[in-house]
Amino acid sequence: MLLVASGKWHRPLPNEPLVPPGWEEVFRLIAGEALGCLPDAHCSIMLTYKPVRFEDFATNGMLEAAARFDLERCVELAMEKLANAPDDIVEIDALPQQVAAAVVLSRHKIVKALVQNDQVTFSRRLRLSPLEILRELYSWSEVVELRLTVGPAVWKTVKAAVRLQGLTPEDALTVLTGNEAKRAELLNLLKVRANTA
């Protein structure tokens, strides 16, 4: 399974607050310099799930790269092939849900892809923290995408996470700064809600 987190700056809609009340400190932590560069813009984040089968990405080019033990090239070719795969999209436009999704995303290998017009530039493989994920998405004026492979259970957790209500700014700060106990608490909450649904 392929999961893509993408962020894009846009002009706010009429009466749309840049930051939900009470979340200003969290937003400053995430956006950093981007906030100063684009004070009248807002970053929307979208999560896209794409089902993947072996035949969707196994190309001759990938096999040649694998024969050379060029894993980075294999990943790049796979991402290019899967760019137009069918998908299931969850749009996120509120900071608490972004944080919840990042908690889930933080445990997986991620390939950063900077998308400019029709060109995509892939990074080396990374393991990003929740804070680093959101900083990457907030740091560009173009569209930036973080792509990773996950199992179906992770996608279900992500969809549940982006709908999680009741997160406070204090919760977000502790998660974004690496508090494992708070992360575990949120994941346990998701499991309980999934079992009672």
pTM, 2 dp: 0.75
Question: Is 83 in a helix, a strand, or coil?
Answer: coil
Written as six digits, the tokens of 86 are 């069918």
Instruction: Please check whether residue 169 is in contact with residue 86, taking contact to mean a CB–CB distance below 8 angstroms.
Output: no
pLDDT for position 181:
92
Q: What are the tens digits of pLDDT across the range 142-189?
A: 678 888 878 888 888 888 888 887 888 998 889 888 899 998 998 888
pLDDT for position 194:
75
**Residue 175: CB partners within 8 Å, gap ≥ 6?**
99, 102, 103, 130, 182, 183, 186
Instruction: List the domain boundaries for the chain.
Output: 2-51+86-196
* Helix 152-162, helix 180-196: angle, nearest 10: 100
Ordered per-residue pLDDT tens for the chain, 197 residues? 788 888 887 777 777 777 778 888 888 888 776 555 555 677 888 888 888 777 777 778 888 888 888 877 777 777 777 777 788 888 887 777 788 888 888 887 787 877 776 677 777 777 888 888 888 888 766 678 888 878 888 888 888 888 887 888 998 889 888 899 998 998 888 888 877 76
Written as six digits, the tokens of 178 are 């690496």
CA angle 123, 30, 102 (to 5 degrees): 65
* Helix 24-31, helix 130-138: angle, nearest 10: 80
Exposure of 163 in the CB half-sphere (CA atoms within 13 A)? 10
pLDDT for position 127:
80
